[in-house]
Chains A and B, each alone.
Chain A
Amino acid sequence: MTLIDLANPSRFLALSARVLPWLAAATVILLTIGLYQSATAPDDYQQGATVKIMFIHVPNAWLSMFVWGVMSVASLGTLVWRHPLADVAAKSAAPIGAAFTFLALLTGSLWGRPMWGTYWEWDARLTSVLILFLMYLGLMALWRAVEDPSRAARAAAVLTLVGAINLPIIKFSVDWWNTLHQPASVMRMGGSTLDKSFLIPLLVMAVAFTLLFVTLHLAAMRNEILRRRVRSLQMMQASQKAA
């Protein structure tokens, strides 16, 4: 089975139906292991038990950016190769990405609460994620604004790619703005000094969440393809009545 075969939505439906249960099972197993390891990981000598929010926060923050990357590749597929599945992939990834971004914001804010004494601080990292969240919402609004998905696809692809170019610029600007106004972020991971007892559960959780995304994304793509089939069947019915 080559990539060309996969381009065919029917082949995609058949293949994804076979793969999905395995993916879902792998996700559940890895998530269970990751959660167990996170729960049994030692407390931080400074942050105490709150450090465990990291095991949820970091994978979500990673996925919030990874999903935009996936959508950017899909957008290239729409604009350059006019791939029939590309805009399905882009459209169905947006709400999932927005959900992960929201979770990253939520956990970040919960993590910051004991440290800052407030739920929201205009911290550079969180502010960038907030802007990313706004962009996800804008993209979803764009998809919802137009009834015909093929017309929205092109506009969404352009916006996604412009966003992909702009995100590093926004990140850089916000970091720069932040150092201007207040001291650096408290939410530091400690880089290479991160202890092994934290690192391994964190990696397991990151892989588990990525698998979760792939599973959800495949399922959402299947729904979108079926939704479009229903739509074109309805249109055919309408034109038959008219004739």
Chain B
Amino acid sequence: MQLSGRGVTCVRGGREVFTGLDFEAISGEAMAVVGRNGSGKTSLLRLIAGLLIPAGGTIALGGGDTELTLPEQCHYLGHRDALKPALSVAENLAFWADFLGGERFDAAESLAAVGLDYTTDLPAAFLSAGQRRRLSLARLLTVRRPVWLLDEPTTALDVAGQDMFGGLMRDHLASGGLIVAATHAPLGIEARELRIGGMA
């Protein structure tokens, strides 16, 4: 499986963010997108996720499920955690598992893997920022998607959380997954660097 972009151009609000970007990532490999603020790291992830339309060029996933579009095979972990404070931790996770569909794993096990099993029945409103991030990570584990698009995934995670997350990413890559992460901080795993928007 390989994710490739050819001549991708991104225009936001009449301003060219980047032009003619080529990249390639293959399964079992992580790609770290780096660059200064405003260089278009988040935009690139959103282009791959189908949330923005490229002004030019193409992005394609080779060797994936031919029945599904690229965004349908992606997990997107953005700045915002997509959690409802009024729902409990378990309800939040169960909703995404039901709504996203596809191959799924036990929700309780995922919560245990991210270290949130003791909060299952609490409303998500009571979680700290780090716990909210962990709950978002549990979503990636509960529903299987081969491509993970991660936008600054380690923010709000403490050192133990970053270690735990590194382990999760290594497991995902080992099972043939693919990771594209936009990041300032070191990702915690070995990754190929894609630098955009000139020198930092």
**Residues of A in contact with B (beta carbons under 8 Å apart):** 148-151, 228, 231-232, 235-236, 239
Contact = CB atoms under 8 A, between A and B. Distances in A.
A150 B52 CA distance: 13
Contacts of A150: 13-14
B15 interface: yes
A239 B13 contact: no
Interface of B: 13-15
Q: Report, nearest first, the 8 A-B pairs whose CB atoms are least far apart.
A: A148-B13, A232-B14, A235-B15, A235-B14, A231-B14, A150-B14, A150-B13, A239-B15
Query: SS class of chain B's interface: helix, strand, loop or mixed?
Result: loop
Contacts of B13: 148, 150-151, 235
Contacts of A151: 13
Given A231-B14, A236-B15, 13 more contacts: A148-B13, A148-B14, A149-B14, A150-B13, A150-B14, A151-B13, A228-B14, A232-B14, A232-B15, A235-B13, A235-B14, A235-B15, A239-B15
A109 B165 CA distance: 71
Contacts of B14: 148-150, 228, 231-232, 235
A239 B13 CA distance: 13
7 contacts: A148-B14, A150-B14, A228-B14, A231-B14, A232-B15, A235-B14, A236-B15
A7 to B, nearest CB: 15
A85 to B, nearest CB: 15
